[in-house]
Amino acid sequence: MYAIISELDQESSIVVKDLWGRLREACGLMAIYELPTPHFTWFDAKNLDVPAVEDILAELSASTFLLTSYVFGFGIFSGERPVFYLPLVKSQAMIDLHNEIWRRSIEHSEQPNPYYSPSYWLPHITLAINDITRESLACALESVAFDAVEMEVSGSNLIVVSQSEAASTMAYKRFYFKSFGSTF
């Protein structure tokens, strides 16, 4: 699996990592630690032409300024593999960038995830995934649902990451937005 993500700013990452730790301690939810870092996802596909997509991200990041959004409360994607998350409020700048990432990356991908298409995309910060049971989800809600989680979140980069079945994550280049710095 390949994804295009933006890492969260340091202050928001600390809050998210604290929530991850609380869910691990109270509910035994550990799978989140297989993810590279607190982030939100722009695009997801089974396979990706990484060099072609990196060229696209370099171009897009060169004309993008720091993106800011807000988190209010919690959310759950239901189904066979539920996801417990923090929802992000979409700004017009986020919508515009997402549309460009989707439009330009789709031709360089195999089996793109339709939930990341412009029609369905719901930006979020994952708190628990892959090891959620009925009991652990109830525990997660009991542990944090009564906390007021409201924060400003910013993203300053675009990164291609890949994850194999063995759950080892590989990050490729980080492309920093115009107002933030350079790539490495």
In the chain, the domains with their CATH numbers are 2-176 (3.90.1140.10)
Exposed / middle / buried, residue 168 (Cβ in 10 Å: 0-12, 13-18, 19+): exposed
**Tens of each residue's pLDDT in the chain, 184 residues:** 999 999 999 999 999 999 999 999 999 999 888 776 899 999 999 999 999 999 999 999 999 999 999 999 999 999 999 999 999 999 999 999 999 999 999 999 999 999 999 999 999 999 999 999 999 999 999 999 999 999 999 999 999 999 876 656 677 889 999 875 444 3
Checking DSSP bridges between strand 2-7 and strand 39-48, what pairing results, if any? antiparallel
180: tokens are: 């933030």
Closest C-alpha among 89, 81, 69 to residue 12:
69
42: tokens are: 């722009």
Q: Are the beta carbons of 157 and 174 closer than 8 angstroms? A: yes
Q: State pTM to two decimals.
A: 0.91
Torsion of CA 59, 64, 104, 182, to 10 degrees: 40
Closest C-alpha among 41, 38, 43, 42 to residue 9:
38
64: tokens are: 């993008």
